[in-house]
Chain A
Amino acid sequence: MQAPSKQLYQYPLHLIFHPFDGYWELKYERNQRTTLLIACMIMLLLMVTKILHAQYSGFLINFNNPKYLNSLLEVLYVMIPVLFWCVANWSLTTLMDGEGKFSEIFMSTCFALVPLLLIHFPWIWLSLVISAQETAFYYFSNALAVAWTVYLLFVGNMTVHQYTPAKTVLTMLLTLVAMAFMAFLCLLFFSLVQQIVSFVVTIYQEIVLRG
């Protein structure tokens, strides 16, 4: 075995180029604790990349209004989709005879995000020195990163749950639907909470003003 510090970056890199091997290792051979640590770090790095990207990427590709940039929101934009995906996927696969545990689903999802990280991070600096014609490369590599990530998600799902390819595709599509449901329920919940809070506040004000 290599030194643990080396493992931290070598394993994810190995996984994205050899996903079948990599995910098999993830499920059956690796130390779960270390892998979870790596997964969390990947997510953290992705958040940092997202924030840096919004703030520092070149003028030609950056359409964010700096006035309304909010790092916490950027973090949420990474965290919420990943968590939603994991929860939705887990909820579904428990019903569909998937063999994956929640931690495995989370880890496989995070590892699938490595291409996004690898491609977006250098582009923060590269985008500073490109011209408008060259933004085509940026958009192309973006698309490439997304395609790669989707492929990794597919392989990860298949390996973690021990599914057939067709069933994996179906599960992934259903997961998207489930995510939409969850988003709807969350919005409903929050708007109801908001209404309750405003109701309580109103009553409190009434009492205070009367008294």
Chain B
Amino acid sequence: MRKSTWNKQGWIIMGMVCLLWFSQQAAPVSADGKQDAYQYSYWGDSVPAPAAYEATSIITGKKVNAGAFKEPSDMHVTADQRVFVLDSGNGRIVEMDRNLKLVRTIDSFERDGKEEQFNNPQGLYVSDKGDLLIADTDNQRVVHLNEQGQLVKVVAEPKSDLLQADFQFKPVRVVMDKGDRIYVMAAGVFDGFMEFSADGTFSSFIGANRVQVDPVEYLWKRFATREQRSQMVMFTPTEFTNLDMDEEGFIYATSGDRGKDPIKKLNAQGTDILRRQGYHYPQGDLMYTNEAGPSRLIDVDVGDSDMYSVLDSNRGRIFTYNGDGYLLHIFGGIGNRLGQFNTPVALERAGDRMLVLDKALGEITVFEITEYGRTLHEAVRSYYNGDEDQSSVLFAKAAEMNANLEYAYAGIGKSLLRQKDYAESAQYFKRSMERQGYSKAFLLFRKELMREHFSWMMSGLFLAVAAFVTVVIVRRQKRRTTNASAK
């Protein structure tokens, strides 16, 4: 009897200890008690930062009266903030207006008088004109519908000498540019994106990833016999995971493996022109444990002013960079709280909101921009538009909210430089670790200083030289006289 009470108490005590222990472990790092947002400093350390976006609500299929989503895999938001969700499991497209109210669902289209349906579609793109492009994966085709949902064309089974005879066309993601050219990311294609001309004929591949060779593996391969070699993994280029198109028609692409450049911006020739002038190459997380591995980027969304965000499926984080490649902010995560995901698959910006689609849960998390995020974006925007005065004011405001935002100090430095406050400007550039800017400001400061104090500097120098010469002459004279007297 005694023993059993002790047992009970023991369990309770242990439970309490565990609770205390875990509650301590799970406590958020940030001081404001909100979600733990962070940033990477110039030195690559993770430093705390205020949240740029905050999750406000979750949208599910049931909530919008469209029936639950079943494994939705892609999403697109148009310029006027209409939201299209590709509900793959149900083979339909759900359209919502800017207030996230249901407008319509498209689950079939008419082709030659017959009703046709989608089979596990994976990719969706809505052009500026409202044309819908659906990568109808298991039907091995890309369906092009107009705004009313009527068929424009079907792109299927490309014929080309570039393709192997047994080629299986499995489109996964799709975008369309202003000239109605269609770019398709297809499963199992390592040669880049497939480009289709406006009439739906296959024209070429663009933007292939280069093969990345591990030197050690290469060495082993050299020593291996033919049979062994056939057992080994082939050196294949990494596949792309997603693509998006910006206003100017450049394709932004992400690749899943941590290659050299997991994010690319491709021009019409397929050359990577992404600017990487930030403190670190845009790549998602810089610090990671060996178990977790590096970020696996699976979606990219290009906003205005060259800002773009990427989605990391590994830890559910969203990284936003500006056009020069500076990391602006990080938010999101894997977990069970609001603002965290289970299996995030798609990321879209809708004005000031950010939408993240979760495949397993079949829901969209809506993030609203915070004051901090808005200030930062506005600053980047006005700098992009050439309004440097405005941008420096906004950068100063952003830096006030986040002292760890080294990037902002350069903006302040630039404006001080134009206001001819060189010394201050150099200090701000230094704080921002911006060596080029610092050098420019410092050079001007030095010139100014020299000009101001030229007279006494020169006279000082002259006097010093004169004094040195006199000392030398006197000493020589002295030595000569002592030598002479010694003789």
Chain A residues, CB < 8 A from B430: 59
Chain B residues, CB < 8 A from A60: 435, 438-439
B466 at interface (Cβ–Cβ under 8 A)? no
Per-residue CB proximity of B220-264 to A under 8 Å, as 1/0?
000000000000000000000000000000000000000000000
- Of A45-53, A71-79, A128-136, the one contacting chain B is A128-136
In angstroms, Cα B439 to Cα A132, docked, is: 5
In angstroms, Cα B426 to Cα A132, docked, is: 13
A129, B439: Cβ atoms closer than 8 Å = no
Output the residue of A59, A65, A133 with the most chain B CB within 10 A: A59
Which residues, 409 to 451 on B, are CB-close (under 8 Å) to A? 430, 435-436, 438-440, 442-443, 446
B435, A59: Cβ atoms closer than 8 Å = yes
A67 at interface (Cβ–Cβ under 8 A)? yes
A131, B43: Cβ atoms closer than 8 Å = no
Given known A59-B430, A65-B43, A67-B43, contact A131–B436 (CB-CB < 8 A): no
Chain B residues, CB < 8 A from A67: 43, 45
Chain A interface size band reads under 10
Chain B residues, CB < 8 A from A133: 439
B446, A132: Cβ atoms closer than 8 Å = no
Chain B interface size band reads 10 to 19
Chain B residues, CB < 8 A from A59: 430, 435, 438
Shortest beta-carbon distance, A183 to chain B, in Å? 22
Shortest beta-carbon distance, A138 to chain B, in Å? 13
Given known A59-B430, A65-B43, A67-B43, contact A129–B438 (CB-CB < 8 A): no
Chain B residues, CB < 8 A from A129: 446
Of all chain B residues, the one with the shortest Cβ separation from A58 is B442
Which residues, 116 to 145 on A, are CB-close (under 8 Å) to B? 129, 131-133
Chain A residues, CB < 8 A from B442: 131
B435, A131: Cβ atoms closer than 8 Å = no
Per-residue CB proximity of B128-168 to A under 8 Å, as 1/0?
00000000000000000000000000000000000000000
Total residue contacts A-B, CB cutoff 8 A: 21
In angstroms, Cα B487 to Cα A207, docked, is: 87
In angstroms, Cα B438 to Cα A133, docked, is: 12
In angstroms, Cα B444 to Cα A132, docked, is: 12
In angstroms, Cα B439 to Cα A131, docked, is: 5
Shortest beta-carbon distance, B403 to chain A, in Å? 16
Chain A residues, CB < 8 A from B440: 131-132
Of all chain A residues, the one with the shortest Cβ separation from B449 is A129
In angstroms, Cα B443 to Cα A60, docked, is: 12
In angstroms, Cα B436 to Cα A59, docked, is: 11
In angstroms, Cα B430 to Cα A135, docked, is: 16
In angstroms, Cα B446 to Cα A67, docked, is: 29
Shortest beta-carbon distance, B293 to chain A, in Å? 25
Per-residue CB proximity of A52-68 to B under 8 Å, as 1/0?
00000001100001010
Shortest beta-carbon distance, B287 to chain A, in Å? 14
In angstroms, Cα B192 to Cα A174, docked, is: 50
Per-residue CB proximity of A128-172 to B under 8 Å, as 1/0?
010111000000000000000000000000000000000000000
In angstroms, Cα B430 to Cα A60, docked, is: 9
Of all chain A residues, the one with the shortest Cβ separation from B434 is A59
Output the residue of B45, B442, B443, B446 with the most chain A CB within 10 A: B442
In angstroms, Cα B43 to Cα A67, docked, is: 10
Chain A residues, CB < 8 A from B443: 131
B435, A132: Cβ atoms closer than 8 Å = yes
In angstroms, Cα B438 to Cα A59, docked, is: 9
In angstroms, Cα B430 to Cα A131, docked, is: 13
In angstroms, Cα B207 to Cα A31, docked, is: 72
Shortest beta-carbon distance, B40 to chain A, in Å? 14
In angstroms, Cα B446 to Cα A131, docked, is: 9
Of all chain B residues, the one with the shortest Cβ separation from A129 is B446
In angstroms, Cα B473 to Cα A203, docked, is: 77
Output the residue of B43, B45, B439 with the most chain A CB within 10 A: B439
In angstroms, Cα B430 to Cα A132, docked, is: 13
Output the residue of B45, B430, B440, B443 with the most chain A CB within 10 A: B443
Shortest beta-carbon distance, B72 to chain A, in Å? 44
Which residues, 368 to 418 on B, are CB-close (under 8 Å) to A? none
Of all chain B residues, the one with the shortest Cβ separation from A65 is B43
In angstroms, Cα B435 to Cα A131, docked, is: 9
A132, B436: Cβ atoms closer than 8 Å = yes
Chain B residues, CB < 8 A from A65: 43
Shortest beta-carbon distance, B291 to chain A, in Å? 22
In angstroms, Cα B330 to Cα A57, docked, is: 34
Of all chain A residues, the one with the shortest Cβ separation from B437 is A132
| A residues adjacent to B (C-beta < 8 A) | 59-60, 65, 67, 129, 131-133
| 20 A-B contacts (beta carbon < 8 Å) | A59-B430, A59-B435, A59-B438, A60-B435, A60-B438, A60-B439, A65-B43, A67-B43, A67-B45, A129-B446, A131-B439, A131-B440, A131-B442, A131-B443, A131-B446, A132-B435, A132-B438, A132-B439, A132-B440, A133-B439
**18 more A-B contacts (CB under 8 A) besides A67-B43, A131-B440, A133-B439?**
A59-B430, A59-B435, A59-B438, A60-B435, A60-B438, A60-B439, A65-B43, A67-B45, A129-B446, A131-B439, A131-B442, A131-B443, A131-B446, A132-B435, A132-B436, A132-B438, A132-B439, A132-B440
Pick the 9 closest A-B CB pairs, nearest first: A132-B439, A131-B443, A131-B439, A65-B43, A59-B430, A60-B435, A131-B442, A60-B439, A59-B438
